[in-house]
Amino acid sequence: MDGLLQFFSYSGFANITLGHGIMILVGLIFIFLAIKYNYEPLLLVPIGFGILIGNIPYLQESSFAIGVYDQGSVLRYLYMGVLKGIYPPIIFLGIGAMTDFSTLISSPRLMLLGAATQVGIFITFLGAILLGFNLNEAASIGIIGGADGPTAIFLSSKLANGLNGNLNLIGPIAIAAYSYMALVPVIQPPIMKLLTSKKERLIKMKPPRSVSKTEKILFPIIGIILTGFISPGALPLLGMLFFGNLLKESMVTERLAETARKSLIDIVTILLGITVGASTQADVFLTKQSLLIFILGALSFMIATAGGILFAKVMNIFSKSDNKINPLIGAAGVSAVPDSARVVQHEGLKEDPSNHLLMHAMAPNVAGVIGSAVAAGILMSFLS
Amino acid sequence: MNIQILEQGLTISIIGYFIVFAILLLLYLTFYYLAKLIEFQAKKRCKKAGRKCNETEDFIINSEVSAAISAALYLHFNEMHDIESGKLTVKTISRRYTPWNSKIYNIMNKL
C-alpha cells in the first residue's frame, strides 16, 4: 500500500495546481486554433504540445530530471538551442533559402516601409521601461513588435535569459510573438481600415519589373556587407538570412538550398516550438510580467502596423501620380512572413477584386524581416 | 521608475530607429542605382552589337496575368495526381522455386 501511495505522490494528479490547469488549457487552445482555424499550425501545434509537456505536474523534490529547467534532462539539452540562440539563425537560413527578394529589388523604395514599421519596437521598448522593466528586459519585449518569432527569441535569449539580474522572459516573449503572428488576420484589418480611405485602398500599383539574375545574386552579397558593417550585432541572423538566399539564387547549390528551406528549417522549427512551449511551466510563466508582456506585445503590433500604413501615405505625397503606393501594403512591413502580405492581398481584394497586392506587399514584408533583425542587432550592441 | 534609465532608453530608441532607417535607405539607394547601372550596361552592350536596345526593356506582366500563372502553377504542382479508380488488384506471378535461384530473387528485389 505504501508503494502505491508513493507512486501516487509522484504522479501528476497528486501535484497538479491551478496554474498547471490554466497552462494545459492554453496549450489545448493553441492546438485547437491551429487545427480548427489553421492559424500558423506549423508553430502553434509544436508550441501547444510543448505547453502540455511542460505543464504536466510532477513532484519537484524528486530526483527526476524531466522539465526544461531541470539540470541534465533531455528537454534541457534541447532547450539549449533556444537559450544559447542557436535555433533562430538556422531558421533564418531556411527563410533566406525560401524567400524571393525580386519584388523588393524591383521596387527598392518599398524597403522604407519595412523600416517605418520598426517604430513599434522602439515605442514598446519605451513603454516597457515606463512599466518598470529594466533596459534589457524592455528591449526583449519591444522586439515583439518586429513580428518575427526567431528574432524575438534570439534577442530575449541574449538579454532576458534569467542571468545578470534580468528576468527570464524567453517563454512569455516567444509565446506572445507567435500568438500575435498567428492573430495577424485579426489584429491588422481594423487598423488598415481605420487609417486609410476607400480611395487609397483602391490604388492600383505599377506591376514590378522583372529582375535580372545578377541583381538577385548581388542582393545577399551587398545586403550582408552593408548591414553587417553598420550593425554587426545583427550578423548571426542577417548573415544566415543572406547566406540562405545566396544558396537559392546562385543556382549552383540547389541541394544545400533545398535542405535549408525544407528539412533543416523543419527540424529546427519542431525543436524550437516544442522546447519554447515546454519552457512555459506555470510557476515561471503565470506572472504579472507575462500579462504585461502580452499587453505590450499587442500594442507593439498595432503601432508597427499603423507606422507602416502612415509612412506609405507620407511616401505618396512625394510620389508621382502614376506611381502611387497603396497604403495597405505598409501593414506588411511588420515581418510575419507571409501572413501580413496575405492579409494585405485579402483586404485589397475586398475593395477591388481585380487589385492583387500580394506581390507588392511581399517587398515591405521581407524588408521588415531585415529591419527587425537590424533593430535586434542594434539593441544587442547597445545593451549586452 | 528611474529617470536616468528612461533617458537612456529614449537615446537608444532615437539612435536605433535612425540606424534602422539609414541601413534600409542605403540598401534602397544601392539597388536603385544598381538597377540603373545594369540597364545602362545592357544598353551599351546592345548598341555595340548593333541590336535594338528595346530588346532589353522590362518585360512587364500585369497582375491578373501573374495571378493566373500562379494559380496554374499551383494547380500543376499540387494536384498532379489524377483520380484513381481505387480498385485493388492482385497480380499473380508464377515462378519455379529452386534452391539455386531463390536468393537471387531477393537480391534483385524481383517479384
Kindly report, residue by residue over A321-346, the tens digit of the pLDDT.
888 999 999 999 988 878 889 999 99
Measured CA distances, A348 to A102, A225, A328, A331, A359 (Å): 21, 36, 7, 12, 12
Distance CA B32, CA A109 (A): 8
Q: Which residues of A touch B32 (CB under 8 A)?
A: 108-109
Residue A76 has pLDDT above 80, yes or no: yes
Residue B107 has pLDDT above 80, yes or no: no
State mean pLDDT over A123-138: 92
Choose the closest CB to A125 out of B13, B22, B66. Answer: B13
pLDDT band at B61 (very low <50, low <70, confident <90, very high): low
Contact between residue A360 and residue A340 where contact means Cβ atoms under 8 Å apart:
no
Between A183 and A143, whose confidence is greater? A143
Q: Is B17 on the interface with A (CB under 8 A)?
A: yes
Amino acid at residue number A358: L
Find all residues with CB under 8 Å of B87, minimum gap 6, and list them: none
Q: Which residues of B touch A129 (CB under 8 A)?
A: 1, 5-6, 9
Choose the closest CB to B17 out of A118, A212, A218. Answer: A118
Average pLDDT, chain A: 89
State mean pLDDT over B58-74: 73
Distance CA A261, CA A259 (A): 6
Between A165 and A170, whose confidence is greater? A170
Residue A175 has pLDDT above 70, yes or no: yes
Q: Which residues of A touch B65 (CB under 8 A)?
A: none
Distance CA A187, CA B33 (A): 37
**How many angstroms separate the CA of residue A8 from the nearest CA in chain B?**
48
**How many angstroms separate the CA of residue B82 from the nearest CA in chain A?**
26
- Using the Cα atoms of residue A196, residue A199, residue A204 and residue A205 in order, give the sign of their dihedral: negative
| pLDDT given at position A40 | 79
Q: Is B12 on the interface with A (CB under 8 A)?
A: yes
Q: Is B33 on the interface with A (CB under 8 A)?
A: no
Residue of A nearest to B7 (CA): A126
Residue A243 has pLDDT above 60, yes or no: yes
Residue B87 has pLDDT above 80, yes or no: no
State mean pLDDT over A34-41: 86
Distance CA A358, CA A353 (A): 13
Distance CA A13, CA A286 (A): 20
**How many angstroms separate the CA of residue B101 from the nearest CA in chain A?**
40
Choose the closest CB to A375 out of B16, B32, B66. Answer: B16
Residue B105 has pLDDT above 70, yes or no: no
Q: Is B58 on the interface with A (CB under 8 A)?
A: yes
| pLDDT given at position B101 | 63
* Chain A to chain B Cβ contacts (< 8 Å): 126
Question: Do B31 and A105 make contact, defined as CB atoms within 8 angstroms?
Answer: yes
Between A254 and A183, whose confidence is greater? A254
Q: Is B59 on the interface with A (CB under 8 A)?
A: yes
* CA proximity to A340, closest of A326, A356, A358, A352: A358
Contact between residue A118 and residue A146 where contact means Cβ atoms under 8 Å apart:
yes
For the record, the C-alpha cell of A310 comes out as 502612415
**How many angstroms separate the CA of residue B86 from the nearest CA in chain A?**
28
| pLDDT given at position A266 | 95
Q: How many CA atoms lie within 13 A of A162 on its CB side?
A: 12
Residue A267 has pLDDT above 70, yes or no: yes
| pLDDT given at position B100 | 62
Residue where the block lists cell 535607405: B25
Contact between residue A331 and residue A191 where contact means Cβ atoms under 8 Å apart:
yes
| pLDDT given at position A181 | 83
Distance CA A39, CA A60 (A): 34
Choose the closest CB to A231 out of B19, B21, B60. Answer: B19
Per-position DSSP letters for A41-59, written without gaps between them: HHHHHHHHHHHHHHTS---
Distance CA B90, CA B96 (A): 19
State mean pLDDT over A351-363: 88
Q: Which residues of A touch B6 (CB under 8 A)?
A: 126, 129-130
| pLDDT given at position B95 | 62
Q: How many CA atoms lie within 13 A of A291 on its CB side?
A: 3
Choose the closest CB to A226 out of B9, B15, B26. Answer: B26
| pLDDT given at position B63 | 66
Residue spans per domain, chain A: 1-57, 80-383
Q: What is the largest CA-CA distance in chain B?
A: 93
Q: Is B31 on the interface with A (CB under 8 A)?
A: yes
ipTM score of complex: 0.86
Contact between residue A273 and residue A45 where contact means Cβ atoms under 8 Å apart:
yes
Question: Do A378 and B30 make contact, defined as CB atoms within 8 angstroms?
Answer: no
Residue of A nearest to B61 (CA): A207
Measured CA distances, A147 to A143, A229, A370 (Å): 8, 24, 12
Q: What is the largest CA-CA distance in chain A?
A: 85
| pLDDT given at position B56 | 47
Question: Do A111 and B25 make contact, defined as CB atoms within 8 angstroms?
Answer: yes
Residue A164 has pLDDT above 80, yes or no: no
Secondary structure (3-state) at A364: helix
Secondary structure (3-state) at A156: helix
* A104-113, A239-248, A276-285: the lowest-pLDDT one: A276-285
In residues, how long is chain A? 384
State mean pLDDT over B12-36: 92
Between B63 and A191, whose confidence is greater? A191
Distance CA A340, CA A148 (A): 11
* CA proximity to A357, closest of A182, A216, A206: A206
Choose the closest CB to A218 out of B10, B34, B64. Answer: B34
* Apex A262 CA angle, A260 and A264, nearest 5: 50
| pLDDT given at position B19 | 93
